[in-house]
Structure formats: C-alpha cells, structure tokens
Structure 1
Amino acid sequence: MLRALNLAAKVALIGLLLFAIVRPDLPQFAGKAMTTRLFTFGISAVLLPLIWLVLRPRRPYPHAIDLCLLAPFLLDTAGNALDLYGAVEWFDDAMHYLNWIPWTTAFGLALAEFAPPVPRWALFGLVLGFGAVTHILWELAEFFTFIRGGPEEATAYRDTLGDLTLSLCGSVTGALIVTLAASRTRTGRRTSP
C-alpha cells in the first residue's frame, strides 16, 4: 500500500510540474519559477531511489521516508496548480507549517533507521536543527529565485518572518513525531525476546 501511494505521489508531482511548464500562461504560475521547480522538485522524486539503487539495493526500500521527502514538493506544486496560494489567504501559512512536518520527519526517520542510536533529546535536536537550517535555505532560494526585484519584495521581510516561525513550528511537530516513534520502536525492541 505504501509503495503504491509513494509511486502515485511521484507521478502526480511530475504531472503537475509538466502541466505548469506546458501552461505557463496561467496566472497561478506567473512569477513562480516553475521551470526551476521542474528540475529542483523533480529531483525529489528520483534522488532517494537513485541513492538506494547504488548504496543499498538489497535492503527493503524505505517508502515512508521517500514519501515524506516528496510530500512537501507535491503539496506546494498542487497548491500552485490549483491557485490556492492566490485564492486562499492563509494557504501559504498553512503550507509552511504542514510541509515542514513530513520534511523533518523524513530526516528523523532516516536518522533513526541508518545512524547509530542517539538519545531522544539528541534526535529531537538534530531533527529540529535540520528543519530550521533547511527552511532558512528555502527562504534564501525563494528570495533569489522569484522575490528579488518582484512585486512581493516590499513585503518579503514580514512574510519571511512569519514563514520562518510557521516552518519552525512544523519542524518541532516533525521532531516530536520522530522522537515519539523512536521511543516506541526502542521500547518494542527491548521487550522483544
């Protein structure tokens, strides 16, 4: 089931990105750097499968991690395609919170799965730090890709502070999810014969 959902999400993302490239005349794609997103977001659909193919081809594929990595890009692209960023005033804020939950969860699941065990507080801190750093990088990329010199530049500072706050809250949520899941997994392993 998870495999099918993961593959469907990849197909949906690529389809939505191609739709944006084919229909750049639609207002929801204006000034959104959709050609750049085709390549950068498209990488999210193939990066983990390629890495897995090279490094761990005999191990079971981590569909949950892959789906969590892909989810923020799919949600963002779907929001643009449906013009939700323009039509629903709070949609951008909701996406900053919601997108950072699966993003940080993917990182935390990968740490829990592949890194040496760390205390829960350290796992929480690593996941939270990953979320904070990657969101700062995201905001920088947004600024240089389509905000600088555009109509949003005058209000970008206030918007960016709100985006950073909401994404940090999403990162906290993702870190809590991973920490609680890791605690349950460790407890289950300790009680197993």
Structure 2
Amino acid sequence: MKRVPWWVPVLVIALTVGQLAVAEWAPGIERFADKAFGARLIAYPLLMLLAPAIWWLAARRRTPRPAGLWSTAPYGAFTLIMLPFLVDVTGNSLDLYDSLVWWDDFNHFFNWFLLLTGIGLLICGPVRPRWAVVLVVCGLGAILAIGWELGEWWTFIRHGTEIETAYEDTLGDETLGTLGALVAGLVVARVQSSRDRISTARSSSPRGT
C-alpha cells in the first residue's frame, strides 16, 4: 500500500485551524453562533496532534536513536484520525448542518468510521486473535462517542436552544458513532489479516542463494 506523505496530515490541520479561526474571529456569521468555536479552536488542534505525539513518545522508547523516525511514521493513520475534525468544521462552514437534514447523522457515522479506522491501524497490530480487533475498535468508538456527547452537552447544549431535543439526539449520535466504529473495526481486522498473510508468505518463501 502506498504510503501517505507527511504533508497530507499537515494540510488537514491547516485547513481545520484556518476555518476555526474564521469562525471565531470573523464577525456577523450567524451559522457559527453559539457553537463554542473558541473552545474548538483550542481543543481541535490539540486532539489532532495527540496521536502523532503519543506515537512519537512510544517510538522514542523503542528506538534509542530516533534519527529519521518521522520518515517511517504512519501518516495515513494520522490523516484518518484528523479528518473528522476537518469534516466537522467544514460542515459548519458550508452550513450543511442546517441545510441538509441528514448531514448530522451521516457526520457521526462517517467521522467515527474515519477516526476509529485510524486509531485501529495504530494500536491493533499486536491484537490477537484478529476478531478481537473488531471488539477493541468498536468498544473504543463507543467510549469516545459517549465522551464526545458529554463534551457537546457541557460546552453549548446545557445553556443553548437545543436542550429540549438533546436527549433523543444524543442517543442517536452515540448509536451512529458506535456503528461507524463497528464498521471501522471490521475494516481494520481485514487490513491486519491481509498484512499477516503477506508477512507469512514472505517469511515462508524460499530465499535465493
């Protein structure tokens, strides 16, 4: 599989932060009102950089001499983890949450699929048996879906205009996020199984003299 270059996740971060800055500081844009973009401007970049930071610390502990370490970094997985934040901000910038009835539901399913696929590719390499990958990824997705909904409630729902419909919407979002994580788990398990077969075939093939 072709490696994703380093500039792809950097571009995703730049596009996300740029839109957040416009949402926070450009005056008079109604669709950005009461959606805690000040908090997102701080939280989103930090969350997007969390996976690369953890990967770097773990790689440093495994490799005493980390020269050239970033040349082997899993930029594809990093990009998948970062994309949901860009999708969410872009949906607000284009007013898709208000103009498309199905966008919010689709967003929760698809973004959790992207996020948990990236996380699964990072952490599930050693997980055996491979069917357990599905449980690990889906379980993490369910936990993150609950945490996300708690964050939304704390930042803008509890004092906003959506409090009357928040309960039903929260249940739906958590369910869709978990389903997206389930699909991600199936994809990651399939990818890891394919990698295992390729590795086994290479190790068992006769070596030339």
TM-score normalised by the chain length of structure 2: 0.85
- What's 2:80 paired with? 68
What CA RMSD, in Å, does the superposition of the two structures yield over aligned residues?
1.6
**Counterpart AA for 1:6:** P
Task: Give per-residue Cα distances to partners, 1:32-72, cap 9 Å, x unaligned.
Answer: 10010011101133333444444434431110111011011
CA distance in 1: counterparts of 2:88 and 2:106, whole angstroms: 11
Shift of 1:7: 2.1
1:102 equivalenced with 2:114 (yes/no): yes
CA distance in 1: counterparts of 2:129 and 2:123, whole angstroms: 12
Identity of aligned residues (%): 36
Alpha carbons of structure 1 residues 36 and 184: separation in structure 2 relative to 1, 3 Å: same
Shift of 1:6: 1.9
SS in 1 for 2:124: helix
Structure 2 regions of 5+ residues with no counterpart? 60-65
Shift of 1:154: 0.2
CA distance in 1: counterparts of 2:131 and 2:173, whole angstroms: 25
- What's 2:150 paired with? 140
Shift of 1:189: 0.8
For residue 165 of structure 2, the aligned residue among 155, 163, 166 is 155
Contact 1:24-1:30 at 8 Å conserved across structures: no
1:7 equivalenced with 2:10 (yes/no): yes
- What's 2:42 paired with? 39
SS in 2 for 1:80: helix
Shift of 1:132: 0.2
